[in-house]
Amino acid sequence: MSEAMRKIEISLTINGRTQTLAVEPRLSLSDMLRDELRLNGTHIGCEHGVCGACSILLDGVPIRSCLMLAVQADGHQITTVEGMCNEDQTPGILQEAFQDAHGMQCGYCTPGMLISAQALLTANNDPSLEEIKDAIGGNLCRCTGYTQIIESIQLAASRMREAG
């Protein structure tokens, strides 16, 4: 077995659960999430870091999982779209708002959008329009033209403020 194929053991916390895996050094984080862990909510759109469909939270910060190797995530905390649900697996506030305002069509960019929006709202539950645009400025959507996505985030923000 070549050096490139030798597996390396990593340990990381994914959606609140600590897991240990042996992965090839060249395995991308997005492929690890999808192919090793079957967390299929993380989508791959371009594999060169432009579209944002593969966005996840790494220690609370949105990153592109296609641009990171799995081994680089060793010791870190990861949240994927599956981890945004409530403990009973029902959709969280942001996910409910995206349904109420129909902030999607084909659903392919949606997990990445949700991740970027979650990072924004965690830090700021009263964002301006420009702050929302900046937060999702790195996530491409080909279906919606973004209007209903922005409205979904605004709806979620108002519900979060109401909930305190």
Partner 1 sequence: MNMERNLHYVATKRRVREDKRFVTGQGKYVQDVNLPDTKHAAVLPSPYPRARILSIETAAAEALDGVQMVLTGAQLAEDCNPIRLGLKLPEINWYPLAVGMTCYVGEWVAIVVADNAYIAEDALDLIEVDYEPLQPIVDPEQAFDETELLVHPGHGSNVLYHGNFLWGDVDSDFAGADDNLSFRARWGRSSTVPIETFGALARWDEGTEILDIWASIQMPNFVELMASTLGYPLNCIRLHQDVDVGGSYGVKRGIKQSVLVGYLSRKLRVPVRFIEDRLANMAGSDAHGPDRIFDTEVAFNKDGVIKSIKIRALDDAGAYPGRAPFQLAKPISAIVGPYKINSVKYEAISVCTNKSGQVPVRGFGQAPTNYMIEMAVDNVARHLGLDRLEIRRRNLIQPDEFPYQIPPGSKYDSGNYPVVLQKGLDLAGYDELLARRDKARAEGRLAGIGIATVLEPGGGNNIFEYLMDPSAEITTFMEGCEVRVDAQGNITGIMGTTTSGQGHETMMATILGEELQIDPDEIRIVHSDSLNALPTRSPIASRMAIMLGSAAAGAAGKIKDRAMAIAAHNLDRPVAELEYSGGTISDRNDPGHKLTWAEVCFIAYRAYHKLPDGMEPGFQAQYVFQVPGGGQLPDENNRVQVYPCFSFQAHVPYVEIDPGTGRVSVLDYAIAHDCGTVINPDIVRGMVIGGLAHGIGAALYEKFAYDDEGQFLSATFADYLMPSVHEIPDVKDVEHCTPSPLTSHGQKGSGEGGYLGAPAAIASAVNDALHPLGLHISELPMRMHKIEALINDGNT
Q: Which residues bind partner 1 (CB under 8 A)?
A: 24, 26-27, 34-35, 38-48, 50-51, 53, 80-82, 85, 89, 91, 95-96, 98-102, 104-111, 114, 129, 133, 136-150
- From residue 21, alpha-carbon distances to 24, 33, 76 in Å are 10, 11, 13
CB of 72 to partner 1, least distance (A): 17
Q: For residues 93 and 156, is the Cβ–Cβ distance under 8 A?
A: yes
- Whichever of 75 and 99 has its CB closer to partner 1, that residue is 99
CB of residue 88 vs partner 1: minimum separation in angstroms?
A: 12
Q: Shortest approach of partner 1 to residue 90 CB, angstroms? A: 9
Of 75 and 97, which CB lies nearer to partner 1 in the complex structure?
97
Angle of helix 110-123 relative to helix 129-136, nearest 10 degrees, comes to 130
CB of 138 to partner 1, least distance (A): 7
By beta-carbon proximity to partner 1, the closer residue of 75 and 135 is 135
As a residue count, the chain comes to 164
When the beta carbons of 12 and 95 are compared against partner 1, the nearer one is 95
Query: CB of residue 74 vs partner 1: minimum separation in angstroms?
Result: 19
Q: Which is nearer to partner 1, 75 or 124 (CB)?
A: 124
Q: Name the residue among 112, 99, 106, 95 with its Cα closest to residue 148.
A: 99
What are the residues whose beta carbons fall under 8 Å from the beta carbon of 2, sequence distance 6 or more? none
CA angle 139-145-149, nearest 5°? 65
Strand pairing of 77-79 and 8-14?
parallel
